[in-house]
Structure formats: structure tokens, C-alpha cells
Amino acid sequence: MTLSEFQRMIDETYGARDSARGRLGTFLWFVEEVGELAEAIRSGSEESRRAEFADVLAWLVSLASLEGVDIEDAVTAKYGKGCPACGHKPCRCEDPTTVAEG
């Protein structure tokens, strides 16, 4: 499944609910899921980590849909040719914070 296919599937499944909840409400759910992922990484089982990674991705694509962003296009545009800062794969940036700031 591609990211675009996943985004469409999530939108078909939850799009009406997400629209009714709105961007802020959906964003707050996303942040909550990121917190659950942090907890799963800190002290969870492999199964809980996998589930929380999936949840975070699902909420992220829900937000992208609400914002009118095709997540696959956005990821490809920014990272499709390698590091957005230096343009290489693997990254050759001397400052490891360069990409995070970009």
C-alpha cells in the first residue's frame, strides 16, 4: 500500500468524523497518539509500539487530508531526492540539526 492509498483509505473510513471534529480536534488526537507512542517506546511491547506507530501515521494522514495535503506528494517533494539540505543519500550534512530545521 502506498502512502496515497493509505491516506485515501483513512479518509474513506474516518474522513466524515475528522471533518466534523475539525482540524484542532484532530490535531489534539494526533498529539495524544504521539504521547502514547512515546510511552510504548519507553516501556511497551513490540506489539504496542507497532500499534502506536500505525495510529500516529493514521492521525497524521487524517490531518493532511483536512489540510488538503497529499502526504505522498509532500514527502516525495521534500525527501524524494535525499536530504533536503545537502541533497545526498545518505545525508552528508555536518550539522545533524540541519534537516530538522529545514
Question: pTM for this one?
Answer: 0.87
**Burial tier of 14 (Cβ tally within 10 Å: 0-12, 13-18, 19+):** middle
Q: How many residues does the chain have?
A: 102
Residues of the chain with pLDDT under 70: 96-102
Domains contained in the chain, number: 1
Parent domain of 23: 3-101
pLDDT at res. 70? 98
pLDDT at res. 99? 57
- Can you give the CATH number for the domain in which 18 is found? 1.10.287.1080
pLDDT at res. 95? 74
